[in-house]
Amino acid sequence: MSKTYRIAVITGDGIGPEITEAAVSALKSLDLNFEFTKVAAGLDAWQKLGNQLPPETIETIKSSDACLKGPTQTPPGPGSFKSATVTLRQALDLYANVRPIKNHPGVPSVHKGVDMVIVRENTEGLYAGIEYVVGDSALAIRVITKKGSERIAKFAFDLARRERRKKVTAVHKANVLKETDGLFRNIVADVAKNYPEILFDDMHVDAAAMRISMKPQDLDVIVTTNLFGDVLSDEAAGVVGGLGMAPSANIGDRYAFFEAIHGSAPKHAGKWDANPAAIMLSAAMMLRYVGEIDAGNRFESAIDAVLEEGKTVTRDLGGNAGTLDFARAVSEKLKC
Ligand code: NAD
d(CA 169, CA 153): 10
13 lines ligand 1 (CB under 6 A): no
Point out the ligand 1 atom lying closest to the alpha carbon of residue 266.
28
pLDDT at 298 over 60: yes
pLDDT tens across 265-289, in order? 999 999 999 999 999 999 999 999 9
Nearest-CA residue for atom 25 of ligand 1: 265
CB atoms within 10 A of CB 126: 18
pLDDT at 54 over 70: yes
pLDDT (mean) for 63-82? 95
Element (H, E) at 204: strand 199-204
Active site residues: 127, 173, 206, 230
| Exposed / middle / buried, residue 2 (Cβ in 10 Å: 0-12, 13-18, 19+) | exposed
Point out the ligand 1 atom lying closest to the alpha carbon of residue 84.
40
Nearest-CA residue for atom 39 of ligand 1: 71
Point out the ligand 1 atom lying closest to the alpha carbon of residue 12.
40
Higher-confidence residue of 1 and 97: namely 97
d(CA 173, CA 167): 20
d(CA 243, CA 274): 10
d(CA 94, CA 66): 12
Q: Look at the alpha carbons of 317, 320, 322, 325 in this order and tell me if their dihedral is positive or negative.
A: negative
The band of 301, judged by pLDDT with boundaries at 50, 70 and 90, is: very high
Closest CA to 278 of 251, 253, 231, 313: 313
pLDDT (mean) for 279-300? 98
328 C-alpha vs ligand 1 centroid, how far in Å?
23
Predicted local confidence at residue 79, as pLDDT = 85
3-class secondary-structure state, position 7: strand
pTM given for the model = 0.97
Is the separation of the CB atoms in 8 and 35 below 8 Å? Answer: no
233 lines ligand 1 (CB under 6 A): no
pLDDT at 1 over 80: no
270 C-alpha vs ligand 1 centroid, how far in Å?
14
Element (H, E) at 185: helix 180-192
pLDDT at 136 over 70: yes
97 lines ligand 1 (CB under 6 A): no
pLDDT tens across 184-240, in order? 999 999 999 999 999 999 999 999 999 999 999 999 999 999 999 999 999 999 999
310 C-alpha vs ligand 1 centroid, how far in Å?
23
Mean pLDDT of the chain: 97
Nearest-CA residue for atom 24 of ligand 1: 263
Predicted local confidence at residue 327, as pLDDT = 98
| Exposed / middle / buried, residue 181 (Cβ in 10 Å: 0-12, 13-18, 19+) | buried
244 lines ligand 1 (CB under 6 A): yes
DSSP 268: G
141 C-alpha vs ligand 1 centroid, how far in Å?
26
Predicted local confidence at residue 280, as pLDDT = 98
Q: Which among 86, 127, 243, 280 is the best mutation to test ligand 1's pocket, defined by most ligand atoms within 8 Å of the CB?
A: 243
DSSP 86: H
d(CA 236, CA 311): 25
267 C-alpha vs ligand 1 centroid, how far in Å?
9
Is the separation of the CB atoms in 118 and 227 below 8 Å? Answer: no
Task: Please report, for the chain, how many H helices and E strands are present, in that order.
Answer: 11, 12
pLDDT (mean) for 241-256? 97
Residue type, 108: P
3-class secondary-structure state, position 244: helix
192 C-alpha vs ligand 1 centroid, how far in Å?
35
38 Cβ contact partners less than 8 Å away, ≥ 6 residues apart: 9, 10, 11
The band of 113, judged by pLDDT with boundaries at 50, 70 and 90, is: very high
3-class secondary-structure state, position 232: helix
- Pairing status of strand 66-69 against strand 256-260: parallel
pLDDT at 2 over 90: no
Predicted local confidence at residue 336, as pLDDT = 81
d(CA 180, CA 173): 9
How far does the chain reach from its first CA to its final CA, in angstroms?
24
In 3-state terms, the chain is what percent helix, strand and coil (to 5)? 45, 20, 35
3-class secondary-structure state, position 334: helix
Percent of the chain at pLDDT exceeding 90? 97
Closest CA to 260 of 227, 234, 295: 234
Is the separation of the CB atoms in 153 and 188 below 8 Å? Answer: yes
Nearest-CA residue for atom 9 of ligand 1: 265
d(CA 294, CA 125): 36
DSSP 93: T
